Structure 1
Amino acid sequence: MAEAYPWQDSLWQQLAGRAQHAHAYLLHGPAGIGKRALAERLMASLLCQRPTPQGACGECKSCLLLKAGSHPDNYILEPEEADKAIKVDQVRDLVSFVVQTAQLGGRKVVLIEPVESMNINAANALLKSLEEPSGDTVLLLVSHQPSRLLPTIKSRCVQQACPLPGEAMSLDWLATALPDCSPQERIELLTLAAGSPLAAVNLNAQGVREQRAQVVDGVKKLLKQQQSPTQLAEGWNAIPLLLLFDWFCDWSSLILRYQLTQDEEGLGLTDMRKVIQYLAQKTAQDKVLNIQDWILAQRQKVLSKANLNRVLLLEALLVQWATLPAQR
């Protein structure tokens, strides 16, 4: 059974309580808030022969087959390799499944995640099934970045936003999920995860606080000319590229915010506050805007899985960052 998260209670009641289900749902929202678990819970309930208000019964033939991974009327479509595209041939196999008759005499349920990983040909191949799925078929599409989807995909689905849980609820849940972390460490992890509690757990597992400390130390040494961009770029090889661009994007935003407001409470996590304040005082605003535009453009390339030279890209970032604190 998929885990039921406390921040999904009202959303679950809204979805599961429908008298008649749509043929396609688009569950969208930030990564790390449990959208896949919500989709799996709904999938199990839709397939269950004796569903309850809480979800699938877990005991009927359909539930047992689903638990065993051998349900004939269930289809999960995802990339064959992590961070790769869903290919058109995969979608064609899915279309063949959709046109078949349900073997257990009930619904067929399809789960696609993440739907934005479909390439253009795959997305177009899915359109017919989305518009007119045969029989009693429900398609559950999970998206972390709905802005990347074709309008024709979105228009054929009931769009269901899955919002971030509140900070208090997230921290309460993290207290149970990460009992070995201190309250302050859990706050830092949640901040680094942009408020997504499941992402905070994943970041903790990959050692994000240690990675962050390494990067912050490197940035300080870069500004003091104690380390070169090349040395840092090569030394950060084990740190996810998207994470690095997220941090530098955040830091450039905090510099601009401080330049505009002089609000010392809005300087972000304590590890970079003095650096942010220093750069805000020493850097022309148009220079910060220019590097932020560049960072955002490169971050989008990273998101779209472009074939990038990692070291050269980080060197370019750090060379620009090192030149920020020039007299205005």
Structure 2
Amino acid sequence: MADALPWQQQVWRQLAGRSQHAHAYLLHGPAGIGKRLFAERLMALLLCQAPTGMQACGQCKSCHLLAAQTHPDHFVLEPEEADKAIRVDQVRELVGFVTQTAQLGGRKVVLLEPAEAMNLNAANALLKSLEEPSGDTVLLLISHQPSRLLPTIKSRCVQQACPLPSLAQSLEWLAARLPQIPEEARRELLALAGNSPLRAAHLHEQGALEQRAQVVEGVKKLLKQQAGPSQLAESWNAVPLPLLFDWFCEWALLLLRYQMTGDEEALGAADMQKVLPYLAGKASRGAVLDIQAWLLEQRQKVLGKANLNRVLLLEALLVRWASLPGSR
């Protein structure tokens, strides 16, 4: 098992050094800062039959079974498909696992990510396991948005905020992970990822810089009436909805800030630094506030895994965006 990420060392010593462990931990913080790696490392330590200090030994039967993903006393629960909800029948399977006796005679460990992906029925089904611990079981819940969790879920867990890396730590980690791309591209990825280095690496794998360039070019064509909402909505089919709504929410916020302050140093990434002042001069503040409220509402639906018609949603977004210049 790899060492803790540099920015996790202190929290690792706090949790791994405990002589007795809580029944459930909630590891929370922004996506892409290494919470899953931390939880997997803690799972390995909790299951290890011969830990050395605060590390799993990597050599015992338990460690070998975990490395092969065949350990009978570990359970990983996540959405069956990316960006889908965790369903109640999945949680019932977990509850069945928790009630069983550990086959290797030690602990049972559950890793659940992301906890906010549970729908209401699934979250309520999990509560029983949190309220009535069964044997020596430890639940590791990972959340990128703890505000979306039921208060009753949070109150039954030891909540652990996971630290964010410094910019220097993020750049150093990213340079080691992506040495083949220029430093400027790594900085752009990190900015898009909100300084979450693992998310930046994932964005690179997704082709996010290329997708961002495509979207920005599309927005410029939309405002010049060189492309229509339907055409653009179709052409952005490969761009993840959460990314699109993150970018448009950010642009609406920057637009509003510029209208209020005129601060050209606070216009965000270079790719929209000419577009936003243009829009700010053409759009009414009321229209910007309206589209910002609409974007935030739709973004919550996207993050909440609502069953949305993607093309219609993007068309609605682009129709509203195209109407901004004439709203003053």
Instruction: Note whether the superposition's TM-score is higher than 0.5.
Output: yes
User: Could you list the per-position Cα deviations for residues 214-250 of structure 1 after superposition, in whole angstroms to 9, with x for gaps in the alignment?
Assistant: 1111111111111111221121111111111111110
Query: What secondary structure sits across from 2:31 in the alignment?
Result: coil
Aligned to 2:43: 43
Query: What secondary structure sits across from 1:81 in the alignment?
Result: coil
One-letter amino acid of the counterpart of residue 214, structure 1: Q
Q: Under a length normalisation based on structure 1, what TM-score does the superposition of the two structures give?
A: 0.96
1:142 aligns with 2:136: no
Query: What secondary structure sits across from 2:234 in the alignment?
Result: helix
Aligned to 2:195: 195
Aligned pairs (5 A) from 1:1-328: 1=1, 4-326=4-326, 328=328
Query: What secondary structure sits across from 1:323 in the alignment?
Result: helix
Q: What is the CA distance between 1:326 and its match in structure 2?
A: 2.9
- Structure 1 window deviating more from structure 2 (132-141 vs 77-86): it is 77-86
Runs of 4+, deviation exceeding 6 Å: none
**Distance (Å, rounded) in 1 between the aligned partners of 2:310 and 2:148:** 23
Q: What is the CA distance between 1:78 and its match in structure 2?
A: 1.8
* Residue ranges of structure 2 left out of the alignment (5+ in a row): none
**Distance (Å, rounded) in 2 between the aligned partners of 1:86 and 1:229:** 33
Matched-pair contact (CA < 8 Å) for 1:47–1:63: yes
| RMSD over equivalenced CA pairs, Å | 1.5
Matched-pair contact (CA < 8 Å) for 1:31–1:199: yes
**Distance (Å, rounded) in 2 between the aligned partners of 1:53 and 1:220:** 57
**Distance (Å, rounded) in 2 between the aligned partners of 1:85 and 1:218:** 31
User: Could you list the per-position Cα deviations for residues 163-207 of structure 1 after superposition, in whole angstroms to 9, with x for gaps in the alignment?
Assistant: 321111101111111111111111110111111111111111111
Q: What is the CA distance between 1:2 and its match in structure 2?
A: 5.2
Query: What secondary structure sits across from 2:324 in the alignment?
Result: coil
One-letter amino acid of the counterpart of residue 8, structure 1: Q
One-letter amino acid of the counterpart of residue 133, structure 1: P
Q: Under a length normalisation based on structure 2, what TM-score does the superposition of the two structures give?
A: 0.96
**Distance (Å, rounded) in 1 between the aligned partners of 2:254 and 2:181:** 27
Work out the percentage of aligned pairs sharing the same amino acid.
73
**Distance (Å, rounded) in 1 between the aligned partners of 2:249 and 2:84:** 24
User: Could you list the per-position Cα deviations for residues 110-143 of structure 1 after superposition, in whole angstroms to 9, with x for gaps in the alignment?
Assistant: 1111122222222111112112211111111111
Matched-pair contact (CA < 8 Å) for 2:26–2:160: yes
Q: What is the CA distance between 1:103 and its match in structure 2?
A: 2.2
Matched-pair contact (CA < 8 Å) for 2:74–2:109: yes
Q: What is the CA distance between 1:3 and its match in structure 2?
A: 5.9
**Distance (Å, rounded) in 1 between the aligned partners of 2:309 and 2:80:** 24
Query: What secondary structure sits across from 1:93 in the alignment?
Result: helix
- Structure 1 window deviating more from structure 2 (282-291 vs 93-102): it is 93-102
- Structure 1 window deviating more from structure 2 (212-221 vs 90-99): it is 90-99
**Distance (Å, rounded) in 2 between the aligned partners of 1:53 and 1:262:** 56
Query: What secondary structure sits across from 1:324 in the alignment?
Result: helix
Matched-pair contact (CA < 8 Å) for 2:258–2:266: yes
Matched-pair contact (CA < 8 Å) for 2:85–2:305: no
